[in-house]
């Protein structure tokens, strides 16, 4: 079983839709969670960073962690074509080891 699992998609939504991206993880010791956005042929860009359970909001983005079900989510409100990218979730195994999901490709069409 992979430590962090993510549906590869692609997920295709119309502009303005609310997008829900999800990951599950297997290690109950994980406490730090991150979401990265990666445009084609570019390096990943850190979007959100959360610790333990709960929600964190930043503009149109909300990160949610449910430790009881080992589920992490990223919500994008009012999605834009510029949000089209691959979204990577990651959990911190220890201070120097991030475990990444394989990424979900999102397409937002006008």
The C-alpha angle with vertex 31 and arms to 7 and 97, in degrees rounded to 5, equals 75
Whole-angstrom Cα distance, residue 85 to residue 105?
A: 6
Least distance to another protein, CB of residue 4, Å: 8
**Phi, psi (rounded to 5 degrees) for 96:** -125, 10
Does 100 contact another protein by CB under 8 A? yes
Of positions 84, 101, 104, 108, contacts another protein by CB under 8 A = 101
Which residue of 11, 13, 17, 92 would you call a contact of another protein, by CB under 8 A? 92
Residues in the chain: 110
Distant-in-sequence, close-in-space partners of 47: CB < 8 Å, separation ≥ 6: 34, 35, 36, 37, 58, 61, 63, 74, 87
> Interface with another protein includes 41 (CB under 8 A)?
yes
Determine the size of the site formed for another protein (CB under 8 A). Answer: 22
| 34 is a contact residue toward another protein (CB under 8 A) | yes
What does the binding site for another protein look like in residue numbers (CB under 8 A)?
8, 32, 34, 36, 41-46, 49, 51, 88, 92, 95-98, 100-103
């Amino acid at each position: 079983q992979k430590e962090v699992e993510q549906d590869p998609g692609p997920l295709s939504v119309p502009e303005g839709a609310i997008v829900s991206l999800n990951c599950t993880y297997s290690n109950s010791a994980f406490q730090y969670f991150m979401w990265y956005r990666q445009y084609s042929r570019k390096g990943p860009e850190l979007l959100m960073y959360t610790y333990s359970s709960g929600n964190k909001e930043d503009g149109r983005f909300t990160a949610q962690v449910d430790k009881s079900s080992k589920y992490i989510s990223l919500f994008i409100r009012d999605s834009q074509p510029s949000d089209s990218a691959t979204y990577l979730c990651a959990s911190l195994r220890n201070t120097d080891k991030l475990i990444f999901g394989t990424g979900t490709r999102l397409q937002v069409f006008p």
